[in-house]
Amino acid sequence: MSDALPRLDMTAFFQLHRDLPREGPGEPADIEWAAGVADTRRDAQMADVGCGPGADIGSLLSVAPEGHVTALDKTPHFVEAARQRFADDGRVTILRADMARIMNQYDMIWCAGAVYFLGVTEALSGWRKSILPGGVVAFSEACWFTDTPPDRAETFFAAENPTMTDEAGVLDKVRAAGYEVLGKRRLQDAAWEAYFTPIEARIATLRERADGALTEVLDDAEEEIAVWRNHREAFGYLLTVARPA
């Protein structure tokens, strides 16, 4: 995210994004579905890479209550937020770390909305050595649901995510990394609302006294929300569960 938005002032960016519950679309049902596809054990070792403020850690623990979650992110603000949420839970380890260099091995590497920083094929290729026998990678990735994206959506994503492809393109990238696709599904509207509703509330509190840099950040966030509300049939997130073949 911070790499994807270099044109935005990062101080202003964190005025909007500090202490939000999550930093991309997602809901507990995504993790329940992925755990079902993967047949996740109650004592699974899980990694949440690009964990942001830790929105998914609780859901990962719910599907593996006797397991452990190692959550990592490279952005200090988010690492601190995740640590505050799970400070007292011995089943959770939170690290400031680069997801391109995952240590240890896991039954599930969960990655919500962050794979694109590395690229799907590059990320999955690199994570192969970090997956325990029978383990999986489960990740969400933005993609087009149409061959003819609306201009407004295409313009927005040309700046935000220029390598965005369609569903078949995502699955091709998974297979190019030598993985078998076990399951896929689109994120539901509730996942987007879980991300956007707190942002809209924060924008309402910041807008009136925003300086130029913050105004740019707020405008960008409002455009993202408007693009989704107006064109959600044209794009979204594909959640994929894959296992090294």
Ligand X SMILES: C[S@@+](CC[C@H](N)C(=O)[O-])C[C@H]1O[C@@H](n2cnc3c(N)ncnc32)[C@H](O)[C@@H]1O
Of 114 and 136, CB closest to ligand X: 114
Within 14-33, which residues bind ligand X (CB under 6 A)? 22-24, 26
Amino acid at 179: Y
Pairing state between β 131-144 and 235-244 = antiparallel
Judged by CB under 6 A, how many residues of this single chain contact ligand X?
A: 22
**Binding flags for ligand X, 137-156, as an x/- string (CB under 6 A):** --------------------
Q: Does 124 bind ligand X (CB under 6 A)?
A: no
Of 1 and 164, CB closest to ligand X: 1
Q: Which of 47, 95, 109, 114 binds ligand X (CB under 6 A)?
A: 114
* Shortest distance (Å) from residue 3 CB to ligand X: 6
179 DSSP β-pair partners: 244
Q: How many CB atoms lie within 10 A of CB 93?
A: 15
Burial (CB count within 10 angstroms: exposed 0-12, middle 13-18, buried 19+), residue 137: buried
Of 126 and 175, CB closest to ligand X: 126
* Shortest distance (Å) from residue 202 CB to ligand X: 15
Of 162 and 208, CB closest to ligand X: 162
* Shortest distance (Å) from residue 66 CB to ligand X: 23
Q: Could you tell me if 19 and 81 are in contact, meaning their C-beta atoms sit under 8 angstroms apart? A: yes
Q: Which of 40, 92, 113, 221 binds ligand X (CB under 6 A)?
A: 113
Q: Which of 112, 138, 171, 199 binds ligand X (CB under 6 A)?
A: 112
Within 44-83, which residues bind ligand X (CB under 6 A)? 50-52, 55, 72-75, 78
Of 43 and 55, CB closest to ligand X: 55
Give the closest residue to 202 by CA, choosing from 19, 80, 5.
Answer: 19
The H or E element that residue 148 is part of is none
Instruction: Output the six-digit token pair for 135.
Output: 């383990």
Q: Phi, psi (5° rounding) for residue 14?
A: -80, -15
Is the Cα torsion angle 58, 60, 62, 64 positive or negative in sign? negative
Question: Nearest 10 degrees: CA dihedral of 28, 29, 30, 33?
Answer: 130
Q: What angle do CA 32, 173, 191 make, to 5 degrees?
A: 30
* Shortest distance (Å) from residue 133 CB to ligand X: 25
Contacts with ligand X, residue ranges (CB under 6 A): 1-2, 22-24, 26, 50-52, 55, 72-75, 78, 98-100, 112-114, 117
